[in-house]
Amino acid sequence: YGFEKPSAIQQRAISPCIKGYDAIAQAPSGTGKTAIFAISILQQLEIEFKETQALVLAPTRELTPQIQKVILALGDYMGAICHACIGGANVRNEMQKLQAEAPHIVVGTPGRVFDMLNRRYLSPKWIRMFVLGEADEMLSRGFKDQIYEIFQKLNTSIQVVLLSAIMPTDVLEVTKKFMRD
């Protein structure tokens, strides 16, 4: 993937994430925040176990496949399966893919992820890591309530990783509700 040396934020955040700690990573755009959670998720995956083990929320339909691409590229030789759950895509196709693929990782927009959880096509049972990508962007787009509703459906022992370019007070408020350590 062309990595030579981890960026400053990667040097500080990858290790705690891999160890299973809740984490907040704030750094400007283009500093490799996506790689932080992609590497952390892939390190913790049980590849033989064909269930969704990580859930990544992204604020836009455009960003979702980009994140999926990074995860698939980094996890290429592992056989990691990553599904993009995007609002606007055909719901029936989405349901069929989630059932047929049993992806290890689901990346999606809050609305579609919430819908798939409600319809029980996405099971929260084995999800151990919950990532909020571009948290500031998600909150500014009004996804706060949906994110809370998704979080309520997840295991209480789940690891939460929050990434943001900036850390306004509304993002800090969210961290208080989601994070333990």
The domains found in the chain, sorted by start residue, are 22-59+72-167+174-178 (3.40.50.300)
The predicted pLDDT at position 170 comes to 78
Confidence of residue 181 (pLDDT cuts 50, 70, 90): low
The per-residue pLDDT for 67 is 96
Provide the token pair at 42: 């892939």
β-sheet with 105-108: strand ranges across: 23-26, 159-164, 129-132, 54-57, 105-108, 82-85
Pair of tokens at residue 153:
């459906």
Instruction: Give me the residue label for tokens 């706060």.
Output: 144
- Other CB atoms closer than 10 Å to residue 51's CB: what's the count? 12
Q: Does position 1 have pLDDT exceeding 70, yes or no?
A: no
> What does the angle CA 14 – CA 131 – CA 73 come to, to the nearest 5 degrees?
65
Tell me what pLDDT residue 144 has. Answer: 87
87 band by pLDDT with thresholds 50, 70 and 90: confident
Model confidence over 118-140: pLDDT tens digits?
A: 999 999 999 999 999 998 888 87
* 84 neighbors 63 (Cβ within 8 angstroms): no
pTM of the model: 0.94
d(Cα 33, Cα 30) in Å, to the nearest integer?
A: 8
**In sequence order, which ranges of the chain are alpha helices (DSSP H)?**
8-18, 33-44, 63-74, 91-101, 110-118, 135-140, 144-153, 169-178
Residues 6+ apart with CB under 8 A from 126: 49, 51, 52, 53
Higher pLDDT, 94 or 173: 94
pLDDT tens digits, one per residue of 41-84:
999 999 999 999 999 999 999 999 999 999 999 999 999 999 99
